[in-house]
Amino acid sequence: MQVAPSVYFYPFTSMMENNCNTIIIDGPEKVIIDPGHKHLWPDLKKAIEADSLRVEDISLALHTHCHPDHIEAGEILELEYGATQAMSTIEAEFLDGPGREFFPWMGLDYPKGSISRTLNEGPLGLGDKTVNLYLAPGHTPGSLCLHWPEAKVLITGDVLFAHSVGRTDFPGGSHQDLAASIEKLAQLPDVEMILPGHGPAVIGAAKVSANYQAVKAYF
Ligand SMILES: [Zn+2]
């Protein structure tokens, strides 16, 4: 569903299994953020196409972090549709090391395809748009959040949710780093919508600021 001009949000709502929310930023360079689990891709593809978006046009699959419930379908985007897979440089190194273990733990094969583009903090040009990337460690060592000031949208992966924050008890997690990351995100101007990696969106400037107040209780 479209939540802002050029921004589409696909919340995962089933109580029966876990998957992440997916976001698409539409434009001359279409980016899918966190494509989720592979076996759920056909459902997601249907939802995307129902919004009159062509999955064949997606050129970049950007992963907020390397957990299997966010990246597993990246191989489909790459191998079937020719998209490039990207994550932060720090996260790609983590995935190549301890992060590999998440797949066997979840009974999954390590994905085919490759993270052929690594990203650092700073502006990222997407065709006619520029989004700002922020490193936000804590849930994982190299989690990325995306801020698109024009749309006043902040995409937070598993760093920050509606009234909750990301787990820090997985390998590579750090409660202290998560607190600092959320403090950093809270300073960003021009955020009227938080699109998190799980659960509902936070919509409206007042709700965004109330959400930062609410999650302070976790630290
Ligand atoms: Zn995660």
Give residue 129's pLDDT.
Answer: 95
What is the pLDDT averaged over residues 134-139?
Answer: 98
Output the pLDDT for position 54. Answer: 97
From the CA of 140, how far away is ligand 1's center (Å)?
A: 7
Helix/strand/coil for 138: coil
Task: Measure 102 CA to ligand 1 centroid, in angstroms.
Answer: 10
Count of residues for the chain?
A: 219
Query: Rounded to whole angstroms, how far apart are CA atoms 108 and 42?
Result: 18
d(CA 76, CA 40): 11
Query: Is the pTM above the cut of 0.95?
Result: yes
> How many angstroms does the Cα of residue 217 sit away from the middle of ligand 1?
21
Q: How far is the CA of 166 from the centre of ligand 1 (A)?
A: 7
pLDDT of residue 96: 96
Residue of 32, 13, 7, 1 whose CA lies nearest to 198: 13
- The residue among 126, 194, 193, 192 whose CA lies nearest residue 159 is 194
186-195 confidence digits (pLDDT tens): 999 999 999 9
pLDDT grade for 15, boundaries at 50, 70 and 90 = confident
Q: Which residues contact 156 (CB under 8 A, 6 or more apart)?
A: 64, 136, 145, 185, 194, 195, 196, 197
pLDDT band, residue 35 (cuts 50/70/90): very high
152 C-alpha to center of ligand 1: Å?
24
Query: What is the 183 CA–ligand 1 centroid distance (Å)?
Result: 19
Report how far ligand 1's centroid is from the alpha carbon of 99 (Å). Answer: 11
What pLDDT does 51 receive?
A: 98
Closest by CA to 146, choosing from 28, 4, 17, is 4
CA distance from start to end of the chain: 33
Span 155-186, pLDDT tens digits: 999 999 999 999 999 999 999 999 999 999 99
CA-based torsion, 202, 123, 67, 8: positive or negative: positive
The answer to whether the CB of 143 falls within 8 A of the CB of 95 is no
- CB hemisphere CA count around 73 (13 angstroms): 24
